[in-house]
Amino acid sequence: AQSVTQLGSHVSVSEGALVLLRCNYSSSVPPYLFWYVQYPNQGLQLLLKYTTGATLVKGINGFEAEFKKSETSFHLTKPSAHMSDAAEYFCAVTYPTAGNQFYFGTGTSLTVIP
C-alpha cells in the first residue's frame, strides 16, 4: 500500500536557522511528490512539487526539496527560517495510476523561535 511518513510531528528552529522537514514514501512505482503548507484556518497552499526531471526543486518562500529515489525521500529544506514560516507542513504523493488521488502524511508543525 502506498504511504507517506513524516518524521517529527513537531519541529522547532530558531529564526535564521536551517529548516529540515522529513518525508519518506513507500512504493515501487515512481511517484509525484508535493509539499503543502497550511496556516491556521486556511486551506493548503502548494510549496513545490516534483514530477519528472531535475530532482532538486525550488518552491515559494525560499523552500526547496530533493527527490532521492534510493532513499525514497523528499525532504523539505530552507536555509534560514523566518517567523512567518511557522505553520503545518504536509508531504503528499500521487502516482500515475492513482487518478491523481493524493496520499498525505500526518503533517509536521513548524515553530520558529525568535
* Window of 16-24, 36-44, 68-76, 79-87 that interacts with another protein by CB under 8 A: 36-44
Under the binding rule (CB under 8 A), the answer on residue 27 touching another protein is no
* Window of 13-21, 28-36, 53-61, 78-86 that interacts with another protein by CB under 8 A: 28-36
C-alpha distances in Å from residue 24, one per residue of 32, 80, 83, 99, 108: 12, 23, 26, 21, 13
* 25-63 core/surface letters (b: 16 or more CB in 10 A; e: else): beeeeebbbbbbbeeeeeebeebbbbeeeeeebebeeeb
Per CB under 8 A, the list member of 1, 28, 40, 41 interacting with another protein is 41
Please report, as ranges, the residues that interact with another protein according to CB under 8 A.
4, 9, 32, 34, 36, 41-46, 49, 51-52, 90, 92, 94, 96, 99-107
